[in-house]
Chain A
Amino acid sequence: GAGVSQTPSNKVTEKGKYVELRCDPISGHTALYWYRQSLGQGPEFLIYFQGTGAADDSGLPNDRFFAVRPEGSVSTLKIQRTERGDSAVYLCASSPGTAYSPLHFGNGTRLTVT
């Protein structure tokens, strides 16, 4: 596709449930990022993939959060036992993976935990 695609665009779930958020990056982009953005805040880094491997997962808040990118393209962010504090917009971005490459963001998934 022309840009980064994220699905679903909105997700409402109950506290304690499991959710998966999907990101389809720009074709050929080797780097993929997940960020979380709360209202009035800047994007908060979660994890970054270079190819299939997580190059930096230092932003994952706890072990309820996990992300995979098994074939080096599509990525899934998985959140177990969701809490109300997980409510935010989850942004995915991709880049060509070369040094200083700008990020191309998707439209995000708005997650609401009730």
Chain B
Amino acid sequence: GQQVMQIPQYQHVQEGEDFTTYCNSSTTLSNIQWYKQRPGGHPVFLIQLVKSGEVKKQKRLTFQFGEAKKNSSLHITATQTTDVGTYFCAEPTQGGSEKLVFGKGMKLTVNP
């Protein structure tokens, strides 16, 4: 079945450090979405990528869609304690359903 792999599953960084997390799919995607869930909260939509090689930025967050549309990355520059949370990528299923399949997430903790 369709799988969304996120690596790493856990990331602990010092405040101010940069890091990158990745999302890999077993299929070619029409689009990919990223969500953030703060501790005790619910997932909140961050960004959607549709075009091959697309790069989008939100302040210190840079999202990229792979050229083959099978993977995506999230790069955070100068990590802050407000970045703490779990970041999920989500991809639509094949076959026309609007169902989104979520990865297990990448849990980020930040040492101040």
Q: With both chains docked as a complex, state the minimum distance between the C-beta of A101 and any C-beta of chain B, in angstroms.
A: 8
Q: Per-residue CB proximity of A75-103 to B under 8 Å, as 1/0?
A: 00000000000000001010101011111
A interface residue count range (under 10 / 10 to 19 / 20 to 34 / 35 or more): 20 to 34
Contacting pair B45 A104 (CB below 8 A): yes
Residue A45 at the B interface, CB < 8 A? yes
Question: Chain A residues with Cβ under 8 A from B100's Cβ?
Answer: 33, 45, 103
Cβ < 8 Å to A, chain B residues 67-94: 88, 90, 92
Q: How far is the CB of B19 from chain A (nearest CB, A)?
A: 20
Instruction: Tell me, yes or no, whether B33 is within 8 Å of chain A by CB.
Output: yes
Q: Interface residue count for B (Cβ, 8 Å)?
A: 25
Q: Contact at A55–B104, with CB atoms within 8 Å?
A: no
Q: For residues 19 through 43 of chain A, which have their beta carbon under 8 Å from a beta carbon of chain B?
A: 31, 33, 35, 40-43
Give the complex CA separation of A91 and B102 in angstroms. Answer: 13
Whether B43 lies near A48 (C-beta < 8 A) is no
Give the distance in Å from the alpha carbon of A61 to the alpha carbon of B50 in the complex.
31
Q: CB distance A102 to B92 under 8 Å? A: no
- Which of the residues A31, A43, A48 comes within 8 Å of B88, measured between beta carbons? A43
Contacts of A58 in B (CB 8 A): 97, 99
Binding site for A on B (CB under 8 A): 4, 30-31, 33, 35, 41-45, 48, 50, 88, 90, 92, 97-105, 107
| 18 contacting pairs across A/B (C-beta < 8 A) | A33-B99, A35-B102, A41-B104, A41-B105, A42-B103, A43-B102, A45-B99, A48-B97, A56-B99, A58-B97, A59-B99, A93-B43, A95-B98, A97-B98, A101-B98, A104-B45, A105-B44, A107-B42
